[in-house]
Structure 1
Amino acid sequence: MPARTLVRRAAAAASLALVLPLAACGGGDGGSGGSSVAMTLATPTWNAGIASIAVSEGMGYFEEEGLDVNVVLTDSATTQAQQIATGKAATGAISPEPVILGRQPGKNLDLVYFMSYYKDNIYGLMVPEDSDITSVEDLRGKTVGAISLASASVTQAQVGLEEAGVPADSVDFVAIGTGGQQAAAVESGKVDALALLDTSFQVLKNQGIALREIEVPGAADLTSGGLAARASDLEEDPELYVKLGRAIAKGVVFAQANPEAAIEMLYDTHPEAKPSGLDEDAALASGVSVLEARLANLGIDDDTETYGELDPAQLEAMVQFLLDAGTITEPVDAASLYDDSLISDINDFDHDAVRQAARDR
């Protein structure tokens, strides 16, 4: 079977749940504008990569906006899209694939980004440093490990293989979970390569596993998305999304200014995120390195005064990436995927004051 057909079928399977009856879904926690709000993240556990969200909780940034936010951890962006589309969550930091797939003929998903979160591409492909694999072409007949087969990292790797002319059925993708499971898969030789995300790679490096990056064709200019919501909810209650966005932006600004304080707050509020078997200093250092790997892809630095802008060119590149590989069959207007009208209000806070509060911790 041709590789392009396999990639199309994988995409169709991943998006099957997105063909949803959206009538009578306008209420619920997500779209009512009430103080109790749910947001989703595609991660199985709390970890250093999402420490900025723990800061928004711990520093009371959500509370300052009058919000009681329930952070729901999910297995994939597809699950996130389902939860937002059905009104079970107001928003989620979600990768673009299901958002774009939801605009294909026969789908009735209408999610729109109102803010960037993962500004740059957090997904990638790496191999052990001493591997003889030097390009995706060398993955033919090899085994690639991922957190789960529903991960966007698998989608990107498969599309990259397609772009390079490597048949999808010549590469075996396997789920290897998180943390120690990933390390064991590499050290035992169970996998030849890893399709993971920035923070997972850093965790492995912290464990002394030397890795080398393999370029995924077409992936360099992609975005990993941001905060998305139903278009109807954004129109009906923009103030809710301004409040959510502002609280999340403050957490990112704080974490960038003082990663150590952000990790300490994460470990205090979500102790399950703390690495086991390490003393306090080592656990802190490990968490900081993972958070810094994520911050490098969030589009934040010491001088940022407008956080959350999403580059339309990156969304266009994402659409073209999926279109070229046959993952989607119809063009999607990238501009329709993003509404930047709330960015000014989201950033209506004193960024320097947040940075100073971080440094004073």
Structure 2
Amino acid sequence: PAVTQPAAAQQIEKPDLTLAIGGRVALYYLPLNIADLNGYFAEEGLNVDVVDFQGGSKSVQAVVGGSADVLTSAFEHMIVLKAKNQDFTAITLMGQYPGFVLSVTPELAKDWKGMESLRGKNVGVTSPGSSTNKMVDLLLLGAGMEPSDVSIIGVGAGPGTLAAFRNGSVEAAVQADPAATLFEKEGLAVPVVDTRTPEGTEQVYGGPMPAATLSVPTAFVKANPNTTQALASAMVKALKFINESTPEEIVDVLPEDMLVGGDRALYIEMLEKVKPAFSPDGVIPEAAVETAYRAQKSYNPAVAEAGEMDLGSVYTNRFVEHANGS
């Protein structure tokens, strides 16, 4: 008789997937790395190839262009894409706070007078147009300045960020951990705005702000509902693992090359700080979606001019709720 596949694998419409991510080493994307490294995608019958790009805007282009199937990015890209008539659906929330930190050199920090102190300065972000760049824009606009009042420099999310401060090519940067903590530890820069906490998130975004999400083009959800469910189920397993494990147990999963700076003890310390930022269940809160929309409307003319947006179309909790057994 013919060899039959297990039932679950038969139902997966598209088992081989390419996933685009912008700056894989950032702790911002830890849940995705855990899902991959702990074999949760494989357990769900998927073979996922993770492709790393310099920043969020680059990984979005890969999925829009069709060279990747699945996107791991900041939630706000969903809204920007929708405004351009590109329909994407976020299916799992990884981070409840953005976790981005604006850090400035010790010299700038001494006389810090808010964003005015950055006028004419070079500010490092992962890549131009990415969420780290958007946070700079939002802070500038909030201070009555223009995004053009600073020069934006793309420095990635890894060791290049440290080099940019060391060689003086930037005087400030918006980065997630591990970069943000490493700047401080090495005396390169001091945090002045910190969205690793609910308070800092409120200060910058005016409400809860969804951070990293897993998303797919809306047409993909319709064509591949079982594959979409498998992706969400693997991510919920990863979030539960993070929620239920000690920082030491989490670090044990990561290979050497993901520990930027190579310092295990420092990584554990960082994880203790950022652990509360990860969603416990992957559910995307409606209030957070509304905050993301308001933020985009304020600094993104394309979104402001797109008119009323049906926010219910850019995310769904159906798959994570099923994965959580509700």
TM-score by length of 1: 0.74
**Letter aligned with residue 219 of structure 1:** Y
Map of 2:99 onto structure 1: 122
The structure-2 alpha-carbon separation of the partners of 1:323 and 1:345, relative to structure 1 and needing over 3 Å to count, comes to same
1:263, distance to aligned residue in structure 2 (A): 1.7
Match of 1:325 among 299, 303, 317: 299
The structure-2 alpha-carbon separation of the partners of 1:120 and 1:34, relative to structure 1 and needing over 3 Å to count, comes to same
- Partners of 2:218 and 2:279 lie apart in 1 by 24
SS at match of 1:266: coil
Give matches, 1:326-341, under 5 Å.
Answer: 326-327=300-301, 328=303, 329-330=305-306, 331-341=308-318
Matched residue count: 301
TM-score by length of 2: 0.81
The structure-2 alpha-carbon separation of the partners of 1:79 and 1:188, relative to structure 1 and needing over 3 Å to count, comes to closer
Give matches, 1:128-207, under 5 Å.
Answer: 128=105, 130-187=109-166, 189-207=168-186
Confirm or deny that 1:33 pairs with 2:13: yes
- Partners of 2:59 and 2:156 lie apart in 1 by 19
- Does structure 2 retain, via aligned residues, the 8 Å contact 1:115–1:309? yes
- Partners of 1:320 and 1:250 lie apart in 2 by 31
- Partners of 2:224 and 2:87 lie apart in 1 by 16
**Which stretch of the first structure deviates more once superposed, 61-70 or 82-91?**
82-91
**Letter aligned with residue 205 of structure 2:** A
Give matches, 1:269-284, under 5 Å.
Answer: 271-275=256-260, 283-284=263-264
Match of 2:252 among 234, 250, 264: 264
**Letter aligned with residue 324 of structure 2:** N
- Partners of 2:26 and 2:257 lie apart in 1 by 8
Q: CA deviation digits over 1:35-60, x for unaligned, max 9?
A: 212222211x5455544434323433
Map of 2:85 onto structure 1: 108
Map of 2:68 onto structure 1: 89
1:294, distance to aligned residue in structure 2 (A): 4.1
Match of 1:298 among 278, 284, 293: 278
1:179, distance to aligned residue in structure 2 (A): 4.2
Structure 1 residue ranges without an equivalent (≥5): 1-31, 301-306, 350-361
- Does structure 2 retain, via aligned residues, the 8 Å contact 1:144–1:192? yes
Confirm or deny that 1:235 pairs with 2:222: yes
- Does structure 1 retain, via aligned residues, the 8 Å contact 2:95–2:213? yes
User: Between the two proteins, what is the percent identity of the paired residues?
Assistant: 21
Confirm or deny that 1:213 pairs with 2:213: no
SS at match of 2:13: coil
Q: CA deviation digits over 1:266-287, x for unaligned, max 9?
A: 11xxx422446x5xxxx22122
- Partners of 1:84 and 1:177 lie apart in 2 by 19
Q: CA deviation digits over 1:249-278, x for unaligned, max 9?
A: 2122223313222222211xxx422446x5
- Does structure 1 retain, via aligned residues, the 8 Å contact 2:54–2:126? no
SS at match of 1:102: helix
1:171, distance to aligned residue in structure 2 (A): 1.3
Map of 2:238 onto structure 1: 251
Map of 1:224 onto structure 2: 211
